[in-house]
Every structure is written in C-alpha cells, then in structure tokens.
Amino acid sequence: MSSVESLKSLGLPTALCDMISNMIDRTNEGATGDESYETVTDLRDDLRLMMDSPEVYLRDLDMKHASTVGLQMGSIGGKDGRTYFYGRELELATLKESYQRSVSSGCEVAMIYGSSGIGKSMLSNKFAEDVTSRRDGHIHDGGSGVFLSGSFDKLQQSQPFHAISSAFDEYCTLLSTRDESTVEMVSTALKQDLGDEISSLVTAMPSLRGILGNDCVCDQNDENSDVAVDAQKRLRYLFCQFVEIILGCQEEPLILFLDDCQWIDAASVALLNQILMMPNKSACNKQRRFFFFGCCRDDELNEEHPLTLMLSSLETFGTKTTNIMLTSMSKETVNEMVSTTLSLLPRLTRPLADILYHKTKGSPFFIKQLMIDLYKRRLLFPSLTHRRWVWESDNIRDMEIPDSVASFIMNSFHCLPPDVLSALSVLSCFGASVSISLIETLEAEIQTPLMAPLDTAVAESIVDKRKGAFYFLHD
C-alpha cells in the first residue's frame, strides 16, 4: 500500500491508484469483494474508459467542495459545459436523418413522444447542440443551422401564437447581432413586402424593432371578437411572409422546435400548418431549408387532438411525419448515467444503479430527483476517507418511495418552509416559467419575499434559475 501512496504523492489520479491497489491486494492476498477485479476483461474495460473519458474517470474530485455544493446533476467534468447524453443514440440518429431529408426536400417533420420526465427535452437539446453551434442555452452565428425554440404552456393557451412568436422573436435577437448587410437585406425585404402591416409583427415579436428601427408604430389589439379572428388570419399570413423572407435571406437551414405540443392552441395549430405547407408551394426548395420538430406527451393525445389532426392533414399533402417514441432507459444506460454523475467506473456504480433502476423504472428525471434526495438524506455522500462518492445500499433499497416522479416531487414539497411554498404558488400562476425581472417587480409591489424563497427552491432542485428566468424543473 505504501507504493500506492507514493504514486498518489506523485500526482497520479486517485482512480488509477485505486486500480493498482486493487490488483496488488488481489495478487498478494487473494482479496475478493464487490470492487475486486474478477477477470482481466474487467480491468481492460476500466482502462479503456479512463483513456476514452479522462475528464470523467481520471479527475480527482474535491470532496470538501462536493460536501458544500452537493450533488451536481448535469454538466460533468467537461470544460465546454456540455451535458452528457445517455442511451438515446438511435433516436438521435433518427431525428438527424429526418432533419437532413427535410432541409433537402422540404417535406418532412418530426415528433418526439413520451411520458413526462422520459428525456424528450434532453434529446432535443442534444440535437440542437449537434446540428448548430448552440451552446449554454444560447444561439450563436456560424453553425450549420439556426435553432429556434418555443414552449406551449397550459396556462397560456389564451394567448394565440405565444410559443411560435417567442421562437421567432429569438431569431430577431440573433439577427440583430449579425453583420449589417444581412440585417439590412432582411429589413429592406420586410418593409417592401409587408409595408405598414409589418407593425403587427412587431407587436408579436418585439425584438423585430431592433432590425426595422424605432420608427415602426405597433398596432393596438382589438378586443372585438370578429375583428380579433380577422386579425389572427392576417397575422398568420404575415408570419408566413416573414418566414419566407428570412429563409430567402440566409444560407443556413432554419430549425423550429416547439415543446409541450400537447398544449398547443387552435390558433397556433393553424399558423404552424400554414408555415409547414409553404415548402410544397415553393418552386425552389433550396431557398426554404426549414425543419420543424416538436415534443409531446403521448398520454395526453388522442385522434381528435388538434395536433394529431394537423399532422394527419400534412400527410395527405405529402409531408411525412417521423415519429420518435421514447421509453424508459435500460439498466446499462442508468448505470452509465450514475457512473458519469459520480465520476466512478461503471463496475463500481452498478449495484447502486440497479437499485435506482428498480425504484424509478428507468425514468431519467426520476433518477435525477431520487439521487438528489439521497444526497439530502446522507445516503449518498462524498467521503473524505475514500476520496469518492459512497452510498448505503441497504438503506436505499429499503426506502419506500412513490411509483411516479410527480408524486415523488409533491412529497418533497411537504418539507419546504411556508415562505417557499407561497413563492412557488405565485410562480405557478405564470405557467412553466417566469422572468426574474417580473418576480422582482412583483415582490416590490406586494411587499412579500419572493426572490429569496425561490432561490431556496432552486437549491432544493424544485425549480431552475437560468437565462434570466425561473423554470419549474418538471414539465
């Protein structure tokens, strides 16, 4: 053992020193146990993992820091902040193939189906990362495609086009950062083709003003129902014109992603259908390199759902839909997730992964929440003695937890302080997310603490805080 300690003093990674120690003990003492090497194949596999992913398996964790900040689920080890991707390689390849066919022929869309927490958003984010230069939740110029995203919200169905307009508002923000010649080309084309009616688009996409200039006057919304219907029809036409113009002014494919499509409103269905019909009317598909894909909970759809009817209608006009169904992760994939999160070799984490798989049935989001809960209960914790994460298998196995992740999260609410529960109630009134600036304004108006309690909810992994907004972690 002294020779191993000497290796550690020379700066060799702890994982490699432990491997050498294991082999020495096995040779000298014939040691056996869960962490002992049984075959040369096991040893070879561990060495290969260390060589292929040194940022995961050869990095020495700061156990004191881990004891302070807790278990960090998400970006592990990589300097680029990338998030590791588990077990959806086939589905990712299918989505990429659909994308390639769409930007070549303009006649295909894709839908990702699955239950809540099964990994639909993770697959979508990985796709965005691979086909564009998108990083850290932002869009950057220069990639192979421009990725726009929006999300439907059950509480915002009364706001027509909200998810789609927010996605294209994101495009306007991106466009304003590009070279002046491109901005001028788009601005000139919009003004020439849409004239005074362009003000309606500015109302729907405020960031468009940064491209057109401040001399554009916005329309006022008309509350008369008949006029509102006509206004929606006009706005659908203007959106389609806008899409056609921007596709004609850029070389990169345009990718539109809409999340939570089970909550799509009727007006958005009509607009999306109109946009997706555009490529079939084009004489030159190369100028309209456009791809749409969405995510949807399959258990909230039926044959009469507006989205189902729209996709069926598109099929009759020659637009193919590629359906991707996500199911639970396998035991091996769960172990890969646990192994990467804890920076421990899969051979060592397999017993813990088997327990988590049994309790969560392979739901990625459920596994994440359960691991965080195990850390809070001190059943999974960083050991200063072992210089790695350790766990109490028997106690974890004996834990009684709900069958669904929704019930599991609801149970965790009972442990939250009253001020945090009150702040979460306020947050839920705005839907799945709300801007931090709005919460700060509301806090000042009602003279009730909101920011500090919501920060506590972030620390408890109930909500997320990113890109200037609070987000519920569950959809």
Each residue of 423-443: pLDDT tens digit? 988 888 887 788 899 999 998
Three-class SS of residue 63?
Answer: helix
% of the chain with per-residue pLDDT over 90:
35
Mean pLDDT across 34-50: 84
What pLDDT shows up at residue 247? 85
Report for 18-32, 91-105, 177-191: range of highest mean pLDDT: 91-105
Q: Which is higher by pLDDT, 140 or 171?
A: 171
Query: Is the pLDDT reported for residue 124 higher than 90?
Result: yes
Find residue 290's DSSP bridge partners.
Answer: 254
Query: Is the pLDDT reported for residue 108 higher than 80?
Result: yes
Query: Cα separation of 345 and 91, whole Å?
Result: 26
Query: Cα separation of 147 and 128, whole Å?
Result: 7
Report long-range pairs for 91-97 (Cβ below 8 Å, ≥24 apart).
91/123, 91/324, 91/326, 92/123, 92/126, 92/127, 92/130, 94/322, 94/324, 95/123, 95/127, 95/293, 95/322, 95/324, 96/127, 96/130, 96/131, 97/322
pLDDT band at 33 (very low <50, low <70, confident <90, very high): low
423 Cβ partners below 8 Å, 6+ apart?
449, 450, 453, 454, 457
What's the alpha-carbon Rg for the chain, to the nearest Å?
26
Mean pLDDT across 79-93: 75
Match 């020193």 to its residue by tokens: 17
Q: Model's pTM, two decimal places? A: 0.82
Cβ atoms < 10 Å from Cβ of 109: 22
Query: Is the pLDDT reported for residue 395 higher than 90?
Result: yes
Query: Is the pLDDT reported for residue 141 higher than 60?
Result: no
Q: Which is higher by pLDDT, 445 or 467?
A: 445
Check if the beta carbon of residue 115 is closer than 8 Å to that of residue 327.
Answer: no
What pLDDT shows up at residue 285? 44
Match 């691991």 to its residue by tokens: 371
Mean pLDDT across 95-107: 86
